[in-house]
Structure 1
Amino acid sequence: MLKFFRKVRKELIADKKVSNYILYAIGEIVLVVIGILIALAIDNANDQSIKREKEQIYLIGLRDEFRTSKIKLKELITFNKQSYEDSKKIVAYMENPDALLNEQELANLLYNAFAFDISFNPNNSLLEEMINSGSLKDISNPRLRILLTNWISNIEDISQQETMLDKERNKIIDMFRTEKNSIKTIYDLTGVSKELGLPVSSESASNRDILLSKEFENNMLMFILTSIKTETAHYNPLMQSMEEILKTIDGEIKE
């Protein structure tokens, strides 16, 4: 095609047909511009295709991460609930210590309430990598970008709440580090001593007197309040946010 136009141009110049040559030159320029625009359109289409493929990879990875985090959060909510429910049972026995069946029951309640730290550890490696590398902009859905950004700040808020909860738990545990109470009794009666390879005492010291302690009651009440607030004001809203993120991601993935 270009050879043909060059031949025509030479003939027009040789024949000194200036007006026709000008029209030809304009036509040639138009063709060149059209060619450039077509090339740019093709390049742009290729770039968009690459971006969409990259976005799909990110979306699938994010979906896997949030599904795993959702399972973790469900388990954590269950542990936290068991913790404050058993704590409430202990407080109830403080009102009526004679209703407590035996030392075994108290040990089980204390162990279930305070043996496990409550800490949410979501799978955020891909999301953090995207944020740090600026790849979050590759997510085309603006609503999803906002949800993912808010997710990080929500996790930071929950971490602060869990720190408060941990402090309340430690106040109670510290009361068993004194001469008045016995961690060893709790270990022996719940089977922890055997798991740790520790000898089981033939005679266990009783922890029943702690039910008469006003300090213990105060600490228990603060722990219960903080535990319930952690669930209702933090974990439950976080679960709702996670479900919305997963629903939005599913709507963007092209299966």
Structure 2
Amino acid sequence: MLKLFRKVRKQLIAEKKVSNYLLYALGEIILVVVGILIALAIDNANEINIKKHKEQIYLKGLKEEFETSKTKLEQLIAFNKQSYEDSKKIIAFMVDPDKNPSEQELSNLLYNAFAFDISFNPNNSLLEEMINSGSLKDISNPRLRILLTNWISNMDDISKQETMLDNERQQTIDMFRGEENSIKTIYDLTGVSGELGIPLNSEKTSNIKLLESKEFENNMLMFILTSIKTETVHYDPLMQSLDEIIMVIDKEIKE
């Protein structure tokens, strides 16, 4: 095509046809401009396709992370609920002293209430990498970008609440560090001693007298309140946020 234009140009110059030459020159300029625009369009199309492909990779990775985090949160909510429900059973025995539990039953309740830390550890590695590298802008859905940004800030609030809960838990556990109560009895009767390879005591110190302690009751009540608030004010809304994030991601993923 260019060779043809050059040949025509030489012929027009040789024939001194100025007006025709100007038309030719204009046509050549238009051809060059059109070629540039086509090249830019191709480059833009390629860039858009690369960006979309990158976004799909991010979306699929985020979906996997958030589905794993949802499973963890479901398990944590179940642990927390068992913890405060068994704590409420202990309080019920304290309210009605005529219905004292057996040492075995009390040990089981105390173990279920206080043996496990309540701490949410979501899978955020990809999301944090995206935020740190500025790749969050590659997510085209504005609502999803807002949800992902809010998710990180929610983690700070959750961590603070869990610290409060752990403090209340430790206040109650500390009552077993003195001479009057026995962690060993709980270990023996719940099978923990066997798991740890610790010999059983032939005579066990009873923890039933804890049910008469006003300090223990106060600690338990604060623990129960904080546990329930952790679930209703923090974990339940967090689960709703998780569900919305996963739903939006599913809509954005192109199979």
TM-score (normalizing by structure 2): 0.98
Q: Deviations over 1:178-215 (max 9, x none)?
A: 11111111101111001000010001001111111111
How far does residue 155 in structure 1 lie from its aligned partner after superposition?
A: 1.1
User: Could you say what the CA RMSD is over the residues aligned between the two structures, in angstroms?
Assistant: 0.8
* Residue 142 (str. 1) matches residue 142 (str. 2): yes
**Runs of at least 5 residues in structure 2 that lack an aligned partner in the other structure:** none
**1:98-117 Cα deviation digits (max 9, x unpaired):** 31231111100000000000
State the partner residue of 2:246: 246
Show the 5 A alignment for 1:127-206.
127-206=127-206
Give a deviation string over 1:145-194, Cα, whole Å, max 9, x none.
Answer: 11111111111110110010000000000011011111111101111001
Give the 5 Å matches for 1:1-255: 1-255=1-255
| Residue identity matched to 1:181 | N
SS of residue matched to 2:218: helix
Query: Whole-Å Cα distance in 1 between the matches of residues 88 and 59 of structure 2?
Result: 43
Q: Which moved more, 1:12-21 or 1:87-96?
A: 12-21
Counterpart amino acid of residue 154 in structure 1: N
Deviates more, 1:20-29 or 1:193-202: 20-29
Q: Deviations over 1:226-245 (max 9, x none)?
A: 00000000000000000000
8 Å CA contact 2:93–2:101 kept in 1: the answer is no
Which residue identity lines up with residue 137 of structure 1 in the other structure?
Answer: K
Letter of the structure 1 residue corresponding to residue 143 of structure 2: R
Q: How many residues align?
A: 255
1:3-29 CA distances to partner (integer Å, 9 max, x unpaired)? 100111111112222222111111111
Taking the aligned partners of 2:56 and 2:213, their CA distance within structure 1 comes to: 59
Distance in 2 between the 1:134 and 1:98 partners?
Answer: 64
CA apart distance, 1:34: 0.6
> What does the per-residue CA deviation read over 1:41-82, in whole Å, with 9 as the maximum and x for residues that have no partner?
011001111111111111111111111111110000000000
Q: Residues of 1 paired with 2:101 and 2:168: CA distance?
A: 27
Contact in 1 for aligned 2:9/2:24 (Cα 8 Å) = yes
Aligned-pair CA distance for 1:40:
0.4
* Alignment partners' CA distance in 2, 1:231 and 1:84: 10
Q: Which sections of structure 1, spanning at least 5 residues, go unmatched?
A: none
- CA contact under 8 A between 2:181 and 2:207: conserved in structure 1? yes
C-alpha separation between the residues in 1 aligned to 2:18 and 2:233? 82
SS in 2 for 1:205: coil
